[in-house]
Amino acid sequence: MPVPGQLPSFDQLPAVDGAPPQSAWWLFGRDDQVGLFNLQTPERIAEAAKLVRRGAMFPLNWDLELPSPPLYGRGGLRHTILGSGVSRDDVYDNFFPQASSQWDSLVHVGHPAHGFYNGVREEEVTGKPGTRGGIEHWARRGIAGRAVLLDVGRYLESQGRPIDCATDRRITVDELEACRRAQGVEIQAGDVLLIRTGWIEWYLQQDVRVRAGLANMATFRAPGLLAGEAMARYLWDLHVVASATDCPALEAWPPTPETGGFLHFYLIGLFGMAIGELWDLSKLAADCAADGRYDAFFTSAPLNKLGGVGSPPNAIAFK
């Protein structure tokens, strides 16, 4: 188990002999199933709670019904209300937990050569008793700590280079760092990193025809992080527990070999880092811009579903 403050750098990975190259496998033990959330220690959580000064709350979940139609071939939620008189129940059908705001669990994506984080095998991902790596481990442990927002969309707009959300605009490490410096915020080990592009606000301005066109994955384009080893090194060396954004895939879509491949392979498969996508960061970002504070206390309660591959984050930032 690593000593706080003495985590290996990217260039020191693998952290444990015999682990795959550039991986954090077994850093927290051979049986670990929560990944970098291990860094959310009681001491860090207690310190982060001091960031609550006004009691302002910013829920980060987008509507379950959006985007509509869903992206990536996922289905739309069907909601039926049952009962009569003054008694009601409801039923969700065709519920894709990753169609709207989502966490990607550690068995959402593995590394193509090495498999799922910490050596979980394909046949162990079943959703039945004995399943491994599912989101229930995050749910049962709890997620809380400090979050830092990098409002890249607002920063680039202030520089006269606004993000065109209809394109696959790729955000570089240098742009993330320039945004961080402009905001005057430091990122600490154990933080949740939130990255706003403005994609959700853009989406809500589009008409039915444009939204329908976005669901065609053959032509779909969306902004996000530039994938590749440089971005993986940057995020790992920050020692954040998660990277979450308001765009559909964290990284720009589509991923291509020429633009660094698929960042998910590094972050989830090798690092055990949580990925969040389609989070509504608009109100939090506006408040941060107004008061100049870009950190907040953060909580999340994913679904306690045995073997779950993804979940709405049920995330809230507090200031």
Residue 266 carries which DSSP code? I
Contact status, residue 37 vs residue 241, Cβ threshold 8 Å: yes
Contacts of 118 (CB under 8 A, 6+ apart): 25, 26, 30, 32, 33, 35, 106, 133, 272
Residue 123 main-chain phi, psi, to 5 deg: -70, -10
pLDDT per position as a tens digit, 11-64: 999 989 999 999 999 999 999 999 999 999 999 999 999 999 999 999 999 999
**Is the residue at 265 inside a domain?**
yes
Q: Which residues contact 206 (CB under 8 A, 6 or more apart)?
A: 214
Q: What Rg, from alpha-carbon coordinates, does the chain have?
A: 19
pLDDT of 275 reads 98
pLDDT in tens, 127-165: 999 999 999 999 999 999 999 999 999 999 999 999 999
Helix axes 229-238, 173-183, angle to 10 degrees: 30
pTM confidence score: 0.96
Predicted confidence at residue 1, as pLDDT, reads 59
Query: Does residue 275 lie within any of the structural domains?
Result: yes
- On whether the CB atoms of residues 299 and 118 are closer than 8 A, the answer is no
What does the pLDDT average to over 161-171?
98
> Phi and psi of 200, rounded to 5°?
-65, -45
pLDDT at 258: 85
Instruction: Quote the domain boundaries for residue 52.
Output: 11-318
**Two structure tokens written together for 74:** 């996922």
Output the domain CATH number for residue 179: 3.50.30.50
- 1, part of any domain: no
Q: How many domains does the chain have?
A: 1
Is residue 99 in some structural domain? yes
Would 177 be classed as within a structural domain? Answer: yes
Pair of tokens at residue 278: 């389609």
pLDDT value of position 186: 98
Confirm whether 2 is domain-assigned: no
Residue 5 lies in a domain: no
Q: Which of 192, 200, 136 is nearest to 165 (CA)?
A: 200
**Strands, sheet with 315-318, edge to edge from the N-terminal-most edge strand:** 57-59, 315-318, 295-300, 143-151, 192-196, 242-245, 274-277, 102-104, 310-311
Q: Is residue 123 part of a domain?
A: yes
**pLDDT at 2 exceeding the cut of 70:** no
